[in-house]
Amino acid sequence: MATRLAVTVGDPAGIGPEVVLKALARTDLPSAEMIVYGPASVLRERAARFGLRPLEGLGARVVDVPARGPVPPGVTSPAAGHAAADAVLRAARDALAGEVDGLVTAPLNKESLAAAGHHWPGHTEMLAEVAGVSDVAMLFVGGALRVALVTIHRSLRSVPDAITSAEVERVARLLHRELPGLGAGSRRLAVCGLNPHAGEGGMFGREEIEVIAPAIARLRQEGLDVSGPFPADSLFARAARGEFDAVLAQYHDQGLIPVKLAAFGHAVNVTLGLPFVRTSVDHGTGFDIVDRGVADEGSLLAAIRLAADLVAARRAR
């Protein structure tokens, strides 16, 4: 059975439509049926503006999800937020109905989502809600690194209170369960500390002693190969050298800075725990370059390739 991948264009005011057109024009795509979800009028306009091949000439099927109003490029707006969310929700419902095997998503703009009245801070939360699941996590794959996050889209000030032993354990178990499908030969997990020097024995904070270390101890009692908490400033180098198969970072930038430093433009965001495969790009909507035609499709191409691999891995289980 051919793999069917839904590719959503993201915020139509950003570079999503452009990178979708460029990625689908590549000759090194995996063998899969590509179904593009988003405003067909925007895709036609970007193809004409930048001299790109239109989707009709790329062998892709289009599910037209029209915008509810004008969507000027490079500008946040309720219309753009609605269009982006409508396409993702349509594709997710098709995935739940078995009409597609996985989702590959171009970037959303969180301000436009909020302007449209949507409460989700990003794809991960939106897809978890529509799928009716709560045991999900954000994972980034880039270079030699696989990095999952305990907390995702929240202010840095709120992070320490959001890190609980239960949440560390939940994300670690989910990561442990999903690693074989991500190509890992073993399941050696390393956990970052929250504070500098992993707290330095409580001198710089007690979260490692009171929250993270007890969670790791319980996971090890369950038989999971989990180590830490380690100082984050040196852990990612150890993981990149192959000492660990995946890292559990405590907050967004702690995990994403090393991944993007190692593989920006080619890293992939994966949502763990959904009933369908979902991958995404490692970059934002690129409002500052949306009118220049210079957006790089590399991350979207990597996301398409990984989605195809993950679908195949699920079928092989």
Q: What is the pLDDT of residue 144?
A: 94
Whether 290 contacts 73, CB under 8 Å? yes
Q: 78: part of which helix (H) or strand (E)?
A: helix 78-96
Whether 1-133+275-317 shares its CATH topology with 134-273 is answered yes
Residue 42 phi/psi, 5-degree rounding, is -70, -40
Radius of gyration in angstroms for the set of CA atoms belonging to the chain, rounded to a whole number:
20
Q: How far apart are CA 44 and CA 191, in angstroms?
A: 46
Q: How far apart are CA 75 and CA 312, in angstroms?
A: 38
The amino acid present at 18, given as its one-letter code, is: E
Sheet of strand 277-280: strand arrangement: 61-64, 33-38, 4-8, 102-105, 277-280, 268-272, 137-142, 145-149, 246-249, 189-192, 226-230
Each residue's pLDDT tens digit in the chain (317 positions)?
789 999 999 999 999 999 999 999 999 999 999 999 999 999 999 999 999 999 888 989 999 999 998 999 999 999 999 999 999 999 999 999 999 999 999 999 999 999 999 999 889 999 999 999 999 999 999 999 999 999 998 999 999 999 999 999 999 999 999 999 898 889 999 999 999 999 999 999 999 999 999 999 999 999 999 999 999 999 999 999 999 999 999 999 999 999 999 998 899 999 999 999 999 999 999 999 999 999 999 999 999 999 999 999 888 87
Tokens for 248? 């559990």
Phi-psi region of 15 (alpha: psi -120 to 50; beta: other; left: phi over 0): alpha
Using DSSP bridges, classify how beta strands 102-105 and 277-280 pair: parallel, antiparallel or unpaired: parallel
Could you confirm whether domain 134-273 is CATH 3.30.365.10? no
Tokens for 155? 């202010």
Cα atoms found within 13 Å of the Cα of residue 37, Cβ hemisphere only: 25
Sketch the domain layout of the chain as residue ranges.
1-133+275-317, 134-273
Q: How far apart are CA 94 and CA 186, in angstroms?
A: 33
Q: What is the pLDDT of residue 55?
A: 85
Rounded to 5 degrees, what angle do the CA atoms 53, 55, 57 make?
65
Closest C-alpha among 303, 255, 300 to residue 278:
303
Q: What is the pLDDT of residue 251?
A: 98
Whether 168 contacts 212, CB under 8 Å? yes
Topology (CATH level 3) of domain 1-133+275-317: Isopropylmalate Dehydrogenase (3.40.718)
Q: How far apart are CA 288 and CA 301, in angstroms?
A: 21
Q: How far apart are CA 162 and CA 152, in angstroms?
A: 10
User: What's the Cα-to-Cα distance from 307 to each of 30, 167, 281, 293, rounded to whole Å?
Assistant: 10, 26, 11, 26
Q: What residue ranges in 164-267 does DSSP mark as E strands?
A: 189-192, 226-230, 246-249
